[in-house]
Every structure is written in structure tokens, then in C-alpha cells.
């Protein structure tokens, strides 16, 4: 594989990671907003239900609280923010690697380059066998 083709692949991966990190960051913000919104809604309805003469509203609020709690726990377990930070660190490393490609070198240069590529992959817990090459 020549340097130009490798550089193109690194650059495409770099841009894709930037976009993915941004999407994960937006998703994390959206989930936090939903959490706040539904928590405030449940608090307001709970305060209202205190003065309610029927028990029906309390049962509905309990069910809603359980659903909101389970949903928030599930979405938090997805670790969108943490995965976005991992991708950001990775695309920063890929940017350095892309800049490093412009340097002319010998066999030692390619050993350093191979090590840098492996470090970028290891940062996201990806092995070389899981990479799909774009031709």
C-alpha cells in the first residue's frame, strides 16, 4: 500500500470518527435533556397528586417513575458520552498519524508508523483482524 492511499484511508477514518464523536455527544446531551424533562414532569405530577382525592394518579405516577428510571438506566449504560470521548482521543491520534505520513523515512520510519497505527486501534480496542479496508 502506498503512502498516498494509506493517507486517504487515515483521513477518511479521521473524518468519520469526528462525525461519530459529534453524534454521540449530541445523543448524550439529548438523553440528559429527556432525563431532566421527565424528572421535572414526574415531580410536578407527584406534587399535584398529593392533593388528589383518588389513588389512581399515584399508581399511574409510580408506573411512569419506574418506566423513566429503567429507560434512563438503560440509556446511561450505553455510555454515549464516554464512547464519544474515546472517539475524540482516537481521531486526535489519527490526525497526528496523518501529519506524520508527510515525513519521508526509511525502515525505522515505517516501524514507527506501524506502531502508531496499532496504538490508534488499541485505543478503541480494535484488533487488526476487525478492520474492514475500503478499496
Domain ranges of the chain: 3-130
Residue 107: per-residue pLDDT: 60
> C-alpha angle with apex 104: 100 to 107, nearest 5 degrees?
95
pLDDT digits (tens, 9 = 90+) for 65-99: 999 999 999 998 999 989 999 889 888 888 887 87
Output helix, strand, coil percentages for the chain, rounded to the nearest 5.
80, 0, 20
Band (109; pLDDT cuts 50, 70, 90): low
**Residue 58 · residue 52 · CB < 8 Å:** yes
Query: Is pLDDT larger for residue 112 or for residue 42?
Result: 42
pLDDT digits (tens, 9 = 90+) for 32-72: 999 999 999 988 888 888 887 778 888 888 899 999 999 99
Closest CA to 70 of 81, 58, 62, 80: 62
Instruction: Kindly state the cell numbers that stand for 54.
Output: 383518588
- Residues in the chain, how many? 135
Amino acid at each position: 500500500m502506498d503512502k498516498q492511499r494509506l493517507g486517504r484511508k487515515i483521513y477518511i477514518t479521521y473524518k468519520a470518527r469526528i462525525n461519530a464523536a459529534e453524534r454521540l455527544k449530541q445523543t448524550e446531551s439529548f438523553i440528559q435533556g429527556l432525563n431532566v424533562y421527565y424528572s421535572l414532569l414526574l415531580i410536578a405530577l407527584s406534587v399535584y397528586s398529593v392533593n388528589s382525592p383518588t389513588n389512581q394518579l399515584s399508581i399511574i405516577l409510580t408506573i411512569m417513575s419506574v418506566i423513566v428510571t429503567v429507560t434512563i438506566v438503560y440509556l446511561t449504560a450505553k455510555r454515549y458520552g464516554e464512547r464519544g470521548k474515546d472517539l475524540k482521543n482516537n481521531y486526535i491520534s489519527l490526525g497526528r498519524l496523518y501529519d506524520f505520513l508527510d515525513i519521508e523515512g526509511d525502515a525505522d520510519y515505517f516501524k514507527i508508523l506501524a506502531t502508531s497505527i496499532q496504538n490508534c486501534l488499541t485505543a478503541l480496542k480494535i484488533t487488526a483482524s476487525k478492520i474492514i479496508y475500503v478499496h
